[in-house]
Structure 1
Amino acid sequence: MKQFFNGAEYAIGRTTEVLAAENLEDSSDMFGKEIYDKLKSRMTELNDETREKLLVKSEDIFFSWIEGVQNVEKASQIKFVALSFPGYAEMKQNMKERTKIEEEMKKEISELVSQKENIEVIRPKLTNSKIKDINNKRAQMYDSGQIIVTNTTFSRDSDNSSWTLKDFSMKESQSVHTPLGSFLWKFRLKVAIETKRDFLVFLRWDYFTNFLILLATAVSLCMAPSS
């Protein structure tokens, strides 16, 4: 199953790359005839700005799942959904760079303290312009970007045949989720990045915390004296 997820995420990235570069013919073996004709027709409607927004790098997909599976005789069809954010991989790398700089700063400050250096010598070491630049860049990427929801359908004729893309659509989160839902997905993404956690691990923790809150609320309501 992991192999399918990796392949599906690669296919999403490759499809958007093809659309952005208007290079559909060279990748026709990836698509079924129906989706090939659909993508070719859509490509003529895209301007440069829209093509740039369409590009989804597979490393920027932070969460994906199988929406449904359908088996008819030997044929199979899988509906696959992916959430991505422009620059997600870069922001994660950004955090690693910040952590490395912070560790170097702590080491340098510890050495100065152990040498009993004057506070005036230590104070300039407490700040670093690189960290400020890194934080500003990450904040700009977060504020200007939107979560992209990609819905795809993959199909194959038998267990031995390759998966081909049968259907493909992309929308920004605001047009798929409620305003609150869109906000929560983006907020979860930000917290996961800032705390350097795997998004799926953080999502599980978030759902579990919400469950405990609901459970505690339900228990308190049940135990409340009736009027």
Structure 2
Amino acid sequence: MIDLILADSNELIRVGLRTIFKDEEFRIIGEAESTEELLDQIKTFKPQVVLIDYTSDGFTIDAVPAVKALDPQVQIVGITPLQTAQTLVHAIKSGVTSYIKKDCSLEEIKNAVVETANNNTFFCGTILETIRTEGINIESIEEVDFSCDPVMLSDREREIITLIAEGHTNAAISEKLFLSKHTVNTHRKNIMAKLGVKNTAGIVMYAVKEKYTSPNKYLFSADS
């Protein structure tokens, strides 16, 4: 039996999830309407899996690493409306194991929890496609690492890194900075070379690490 906590401030959503997980295979041992409630329940109930919408009122993405800090063994499934690729990467790096959309089929939602409880990852097709359209390899996200050597970036490069991390495309950056798309693409390549990363995920992770941007600030960016 899989012990499960539902973390969502919307009571109607929680009622629906209760219906999905009424099978004998699952046991809902807690429901949280805020990060504070969730952390209290993690301490009390020791669940296997937390199913969380960190975009709902009362939660932020910071709830995810807070849960993992309390109990590294807890597996976390994100279930939200569709987010930008950058936001999805933030969530995965923060500690989300699996990720599904709220409008996924009932079977997909159940499968996500089962696979996650078995220490596997599960991403619905729409989530995978969103991430891959940005050229991000889902399997390489956790491998992004940076040396301790100083990185010499120009003001323009730092500006572009920030815009990339905020979810803006090359075309959008070109318009905002009054640069040609070719120039923006050249900057992007130079940035990746300097950081020693191979894709957008690496740039985003660097931006978060260096506090150029916040995982919470751009949950609904529309440019990606």
After TM superposition, the score normalised by the length of structure 2 is 0.23
More helix by percentage: 1
Structure whose alpha-carbon radius of gyration is higher: 1
More strand by percentage: 1
After TM superposition, the score normalised by the length of structure 1 is 0.23
Bigger relative contact order, structure 1 or 2 (CA pairs below 8 A, ≥6 apart): 1
